[in-house]
Chains A and B, each alone.
Chain A
Amino acid sequence: MPISLEQSLTIPQSQARKEAFQQARNYIERAEKAGGVSAPVSKTFPNLLKDGSNVRVDIEVITGQAFVPDSTE
């Protein structure tokens, strides 16, 4: 999901969120390894490279469970 969201952005938008998207991917990987995460929860990655920027990447799980690893069976 973060990949398709990232691809929908223009180059400057994507650049401004590059670090935040990487952090989001790391968070999702960690959640998968932990077996998923239950709602509700949010994780926000602000753009720290630029002072005063209001750019951020938000992960928000509103209902159910997210990032549950695929069954290997």
Chain B
Amino acid sequence: MVTPTEIYELWLSEDGSYDFLPSTNNSARNLLDQDAKLITKIEADSWESARQKQYALLGWGNYLPAPDPVDFDQVFITDPQGRETTFDIHGLFGREEVFQLTKITWNKLNLLRKENIVVPESSQKSKFYSFSQLLQLQAYVLIHHDKSAVIRTHLLKKVLRFYSDNYRDVRRHESFPYSIGSVVKSIEPDLSNRDDLFEEIRRRLDFKGQDRYMVHIYPSLLNVISALHENVQSVYGVEFNDFRQMLVA
């Protein structure tokens, strides 16, 4: 079967900006600068493929398409032993399930609810947590495991928001959130964005108002999902296939 191809145009304006569009996209063509010049035409069978060719031509490295959250229904993990856990990101989890899955205690769960950090949805008799909240609770358990890390409520809210905001983006799963002062950002495992961290530190180097600053580095989403996976495996073990059906259903 022959895949139909389309012609894409690469234009360069005098201000140095590039326009890239299919030849058939007239609304994009109408936005071309008057001084824009056609550099080349590229034939490709999809937008992604065309963009990859454009990136190669301009020496921009690999084109990484943005994740489509609409098509992203599951988070799954397979460990070195071949054990797999799949979570339906639209799933709701009762409190008993949350205790089993995250190993969180009653006290901590209630504390997070009272402080409005992780608040379950309520029906008449039951309380349910979403998958993103499950991640937040598991992250909290891991963070709290380090007794030396004392984190104020407003900062904890920001840190836990990292997990709920980013779990849909697989490219962020290995990033480590960190906090310095009240700022929360993340650092890549290969330290490719370490300049951001250095800049945050540099901005605080006057030490006029405070004689020390702590940089806390928190678990990555992968750490959190791995911890959930271990808990699922330890709790459900042999009946795990049934449990997985329940999660994905």
Q: Given A36-B27, A42-B51, A62-B47, is A10 in contact with B196 using a C-beta cutoff of 8 Å?
A: yes
B contact residues around A48 at 8 Å (CB): 15-16
Asked if A11 and B199 sit within 8 Å, CB to CB, the answer is yes
Q: Which residue of chain B has the shortest Cβ distance to A48 in the bound complex?
A: B16
Q: Does residue A1 face the partner (Cβ distance < 8 Å to B)? A: no
In the bound complex, CA of A54 to CA of B58 (Å): 11
**Considering only CB atoms and an 8 Å cut-off, how many residues of chain A contact the other chain?**
25
List the B residue with the shortest CB-CB distance to A38.
Answer: B27
Q: Once the chains are docked, how many angstroms separate the CA of A41 from the CA of B9?
A: 10
In the complex, A49→B52 CA distance in Å? 26
State which of A31, A40, A43, A44 has its C-beta within 8 Å of the C-beta of B25: A40
Question: Residue B3 at the A interface, CB < 8 A?
Answer: no
| A interface SS class | mixed
- In the complex, 20 of the A-B residue pairs with CB atoms within 8 angstroms, ordered by the A residue number, are A10-B199, A12-B195, A23-B15, A23-B17, A27-B31, A34-B31, A35-B27, A37-B27, A37-B31, A38-B25, A41-B19, A41-B20, A41-B31, A43-B17, A43-B19, A43-B31, A45-B15, A45-B16, A46-B16, A48-B16
A18 near B: Cβ within 8 Å? Answer: no
State whether B21 touches A40 (Cβ < 8 A): yes
Expressed in whole angstroms, the minimum distance between the Cβ of A65 and any Cβ of chain B is 8
Decide if A31 touches B31 in the complex (CB within 8 Å). Answer: yes
CB A43 to nearest CB in B, in angstroms, measures 6
Q: Say how far B221's CB is from chain A's closest CB, in angstroms.
A: 18
B209 partner residues in chain A, CB cutoff 8 A: none
Q: Residue A30 at the B interface, CB < 8 A?
A: yes
A4 to chain B, nearest CB (A): 13
The DSSP consensus for interface residues of chain B is mixed
Given A48-B16, A60-B66, A62-B65, A38:B196 Cβ within 8 A: no
A13, B65: Cβ atoms under 8 Å?
A: no
The distance from the CB of B63 to the nearest CB of chain A, in whole angstroms, is 10
Please report which residues of chain B, range 2-41, place their CB below 8 angstroms from some CB of chain A when the two chains form the complex: 15-22, 25, 27-28, 30-31
Cα distance A43–B30 in the bound complex, in angstroms: 13
- In angstroms, Cα B25 to Cα A47, docked, is 27
Q: Which single residue of chain B is at the shortest CB-CB distance from A56?
A: B60
List B contacts of A36 (CB < 8 A).
Answer: 27
**Across the interface, which residues of A come within 8 angstroms of B20, CB to CB?**
41-44
Q: Are B18 and A43 in contact (CB under 8 A)?
A: yes
Interface centre among B17, B60, B196 (most CB of A within 10 A): B17
Is B84 in the interface zone, CB < 8 Å from A? no
Known A-B contacts A41-B19, A41-B25, A44-B20; the reply to A34 vs B199 at CB < 8 A is no
Instruction: Check if B230 is an interface residue, CB within 8 A of chain A.
Output: no
Question: Would B30 and A34 count as touching, CB distance under 8 A?
Answer: yes
Chain B residues with CB under 8 Å of A54's CB are: 60
| CB neighbours of A27 from chain B (8 A) | 17, 31
